[in-house]
């Protein structure tokens, strides 16, 4: 194997030098590389043949057959052989598959890691199902207490005071911009969470995609987009924000 590696490396070095100093490769260059590479292949083949011959010589020293029966190690339905140092062994019924040797000291850690990964995957799926279900069952809400505005939707919320509001607009759709989701949800029906716009900058969205109009709230450090499942409710929120801003 070392001979093959060195032969391949020598061939590549030769081609690189020819490219650097010769600018182009000729048919002779490719032929030379092929010959050097074949030297490596011949070395591997020779090594395999020598190993086979050595194995044959060792087996021929004692021609008596050796009978083995490994039923004892499969009696529980899985492989458990304390005398086998391999963690994995060829499956009893399928030679193209492998079975775990449960008598190996590392088997319990392998099983524990597999169980942990499976439980974590199931837990992650359940959490995602809960989050998506919450998004489908809920809708954006806005409350105003004194001069403090709180917007919430599912697991996300945003609070700001009247002094932080620079402008409030009622718009028919999202502005032309490329919004990258940083932390939130972007499904077929909702846009929720933290986004980054190329033109808008830091953005929080509490939007139902199929509903219009939208409220655009410009704050000191971010922009908030909001709407409701009812256009009447959206317009009322807009009027409340305008009234709060004029105080």
Closest of 206, 160, 199, 171 to residue 185, by C-alpha: 206
Domain boundaries, the chain: 2-60, 141-246
The answer to whether 138 and 153 are in contact (CB under 8 A) is yes
Q: Please give the pLDDT value at position 12.
A: 84
Question: Mean pLDDT of successive 10-residue segments in the chain (247 residues)?
Answer: 85 81 74 85 89 83 64 81 84 80 88 92 83 71 90 88 90 90 84 90 91 92 92 92 84
Assign domain 141-246 to its CATH architecture. Roll (2.30)
Q: Please give the pLDDT value at position 134.
A: 66
Q: Please give the pLDDT value at position 66.
A: 56
Measured CA to CA in angstroms, residue 180 lies from 92, 151, 191, 213 at distances of 52, 21, 11, 22
């Amino acid at each position: 194997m070392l001979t093959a590696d060195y032969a391949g490396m020598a061939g590549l070095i030769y081609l690189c030098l020819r490219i650097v100093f010769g600018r182009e490769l000729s048919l002779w260059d490719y032929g030379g590389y092929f010959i050097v590479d074949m030297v490596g292949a011949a070395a591997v083949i020779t090594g395999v043949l020598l190993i086979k011959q050595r194995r044959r010589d060792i087996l021929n020293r004692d021609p008596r057959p050796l009978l083995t029966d490994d039923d004892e190690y499969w009696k529980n339905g899985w492989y458990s052989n304390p005398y086998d140092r391999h963690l994995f062994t060829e499956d009893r019924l399928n030679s193209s598959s492998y079975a775990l040797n449960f008598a190996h000291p590392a088997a319990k850690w392998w099983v524990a890691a597999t169980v942990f990964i499976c439980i974590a995957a199931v837990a992650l799926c359940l959490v995602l199902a809960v989050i998506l279900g919450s998004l489908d069952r809920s809708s954006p809400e806005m409350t105003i207490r004194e001069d403090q505005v709180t917007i919430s939707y599912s697991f996300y919320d945003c609070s700001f005071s009247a002094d932080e509001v620079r402008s409030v607009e009622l718009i028919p759709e999202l502005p032309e911009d490329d919004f990258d989701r940083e932390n939130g949800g972007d499904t077929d029906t909702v846009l929720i969470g933290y986004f980054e716009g190329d033109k808008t900058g830091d953005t929080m969205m509490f939007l139902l995609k199929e509903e219009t109009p939208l409220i655009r709230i410009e704050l000191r450090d971010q922009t908030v987009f909001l709407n409701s499942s009812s256009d009447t409710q959206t317009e009322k929120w807009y009027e409340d924000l305008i009234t709060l801003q004029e105080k």
